Amino acid sequence: MEPSKDYLFKYKGFYFSLETSPEYLDSLEDFEIKDSDIFIATYPKSGTVWTQNILSLIIHEGHRNGTENMETLDRIPWLEYNIKNAAYANLPSPRVFATHLPYYLVPRDLRNKRARVIYVTRNPKDVMVSYYHFSKFICTLEEVPDFNIFMERFLAGKVLASSWLDHVEGWYSHAEDFNILFLTYEEMKKDLRSAVLKICNFLGKKLSEEELDSVVRQATFENMRKDPRANYENLPENLAEKNKGSFLRKGTVGDWKNTMTVAQNERFDKVLTEKMKTLPIKFTWDINNM
């Protein structure tokens, strides 16, 4: 079944929601990059908001010590969806952007190794289950109540951001074009402190032990969930149905087991798991194996 045109459109082989336009996407090719810019690139539901929050905590002292009150979307705008407020020049340096773009649609200069990219992946069964729940909560996505149908769309890449495998495969196989750090959701979950240190090293940012402790403490699932800004609780009503969920839902590894049946898991493995073997990533499917 094709995705509804009321929710998605295709541009250069990739599905976008209607919050952006082909003209705006065209303009991103010439987007003016600054060397200090940082881009968080992900397939949806792979740890974007988590990484946005970690970067804000690392970079901005005011975010860390609570003296500033800036919404995450203003602090770290979506490159391809922030079409109405694209006043990027006013962002404090270093500017940080979030994007779900595939490697081939990002600004040209980024592909010429300017600026920095942090690419985060997550095991695709957890991505799919998280995505399924998110579609109920976010109004700009089509709600697909039947998980079987959602899974078939996900496996066929007929969702916002298209095929999970193509996205991940594309970014990994073009790593040499970028100044890029790869992280996985699962390694962040297993050892958040090491992941934060990796990010600091990549950015050339030195934090004191106390500052590092503070970043790690504030970036745990429990603490982010309590922070309305980190949990995107101030989204407008026409964007999120707040009685149907929240941005930070479960935040764990292996939650797919609570949703997928044995048959669904077999179907998933048949379609995707075999193809994933060429990826240079070791996925963790279960919290007990970490």
For position 224 contacting ligand PPS by CB under 6 A, the verdict is yes
Min dist CB 170 to ligand PPS, Å, is 17
Of the residues 49, 55, 118, 215, which one makes contact with ligand PPS according to CB under 6 A: 49
- For residue 72, which of 57, 89, 88 has the smallest C-alpha distance? 57
Coil, helix or strand for 87?
coil
Q: How many residues does the chain have?
A: 290
> Is residue 47 part of the contact set for ligand PPS (CB under 6 A)?
yes
Residue 152 near ligand PPS by CB under 6 A: no
From residue 247 to residue 286, what is the string marking binding to ligand PPS with x (rule CB under 6 A)? -xxxx---x-------------------------------
Determine which helix (DSSP H) or strand (DSSP E) holds 40, and give its type and residue range.
strand 38-42
Amino acid letter, residue 70: M
Asked whether position 163 contacts ligand PPS by CB under 6 A, the answer is: no
Report the 10 Å Cβ neighbour count for 90. 7
Return d(Cα 98, Cα 81) in angstroms, integer: 10
Beta carbon nearer to ligand PPS, 93 or 243: 243
CB under 6 A: which stretch of 61-69, 128-136, 235-243, 276-284 binds ligand PPS?
A: 128-136
Residues annotated as catalytic are: 100
Q: How far apart (Å, rounded) are the C-alpha atoms in residues 102 and 166? A: 8
Answer yes or no whether residue 135 interacts with ligand PPS by CB under 6 A.
Answer: no
| Binding of ligand PPS by 63 (CB under 6 A) | no
Contact call for residue 218 and ligand PPS (CB under 6 A): no
Look up tokens 């729940």; give the residue. Answer: 133
Out of 44, 77, 102, 124, the only residue in the binding site for ligand PPS (CB under 6 A) is 44
Determine the Cα–Cα distance for residues 49 and 73; give it in Å rounded to an integer.
10
Q: Please count the residues of this chain forming the interface with ligand PPS, following the rule CB under 6 A.
A: 21
How far is C-alpha 285 from the chain's CA centre?
Answer: 19
Measured at the CA of 80, the angle between CA 106 and CA 55, to 5 degrees, comes to 80
In the range 98-127, which residues lie near ligand PPS by CB under 6 A? 126
Q: Which residues would be at the binding site for ligand PPS (CB under 6 A)?
A: 42, 44-50, 126, 130, 133-134, 219-221, 224, 248-251, 255
